[in-house]
Amino acid sequence: MTQKAVVVAERITKTLGQGAGEVQALRGVSLHIYGGEMTLLMGPSGSGKTTLLSIFGCLLTPTSGQLEVAGHATDDLGPEKLAELRRHHVGFIFQSYNLFPTLTALENTCLALDVRGVPLEESKKRARRALEAVDLTHRSNAYPSEMSGGEQQRVAVARALIGEPSIILADEPTSALDKTRQVRFLDLLFDQVSNAGATLIMVSHDEALAGRFDQVLQLTDIVTHVRQNGKESP
């Protein structure tokens, strides 16, 4: 059965700043990303990778163009509807993990369900399962300051996936890792995303990762093109 596109972008542009400080971060990005795909988003510094990821996650809105996320057109959605779409269909893994220092691993993982209004006991039950999936059951009551960077990263994966989102967006999650830990983290991430039946879109500047992904989206300051299975298309 043919997979449906979970992200459809048509001629997306994004202008940041005003007046003399105005910058055109994105210039006419058009692409389709399908369910279950592992996609790597690459490009030089300033090419708009994080801006595009934020648009896919409904954290930013395009200046022009059309966007569909998980089958929902975003053109006419206000902030509340965009937040609702984000809560129900998108999970985020940030470079700095973004864990709350005063919350335990279990409590940090629960947050993705708390914002949906899931009852506390149900949230805890699902959070325990999510932490078990990333081999962190024994660290459920640990605070971020008591965990290693790798453990914090696994909490971030559990939190991103606990709400069963359609799309996982990861912004440079391996940038601070050595090669060994990078491989281990990607193995874990790919395994968890695949088990959840989700779609992964990850930003990185590391060309060495490209071979592990189904497709690579290459951004430059002039054009966006797709390199898939070693071949390029306009």
Q: How many CB atoms lie within 10 A of CB 102?
A: 10
Q: At 52, which helix (H) or strand (E)?
A: helix 49-56
Q: What is the chain's mean pLDDT, rounded?
A: 87
Look at residue 228 and tell me whether its pLDDT is greater than 70. Answer: no
Both tokens assigned to 170: 């990861």
Task: Write the DSSP assignment of 114-169 as a string of letters.
Answer: HTTT--HHHHHHHHHHHHHHTT-GGGTT--GGGS-HHHHHHHHHHHHHTT--SEEE
pTM listed for this prediction: 0.87
pLDDT digits (tens, 9 = 90+) for 129-150: 999 989 999 999 999 999 988 8
Query: Tokens in use for 3?
Result: 């997979």
As a whole-number percent, the residues of the chain with pLDDT over 70 amount to 93
Ramachandran category for residue 150: left, alpha or beta (phi over 0 → left; psi -120 to 50 → alpha): alpha
What domains can you pick out in the chain, each with its CATH number? Answer: 5-233 (3.40.50.300)
Tell me the backbone φ, ψ of residue 61, rounded to 5 degrees.
Answer: -110, 145
pLDDT exceeds cutoff 80 at 227:
no
Tens-digit pLDDT profile for residues 55-72: 999 999 999 999 999 999
- Cβ–Cβ < 8 Å for 127, 162: yes
Judge whether 147 and 109 are in contact, CB under 8 Å.
no
Of the candidates 203, 219, 197, 221, the residue with the CA atom closest to the CA atom of residue 34:
197
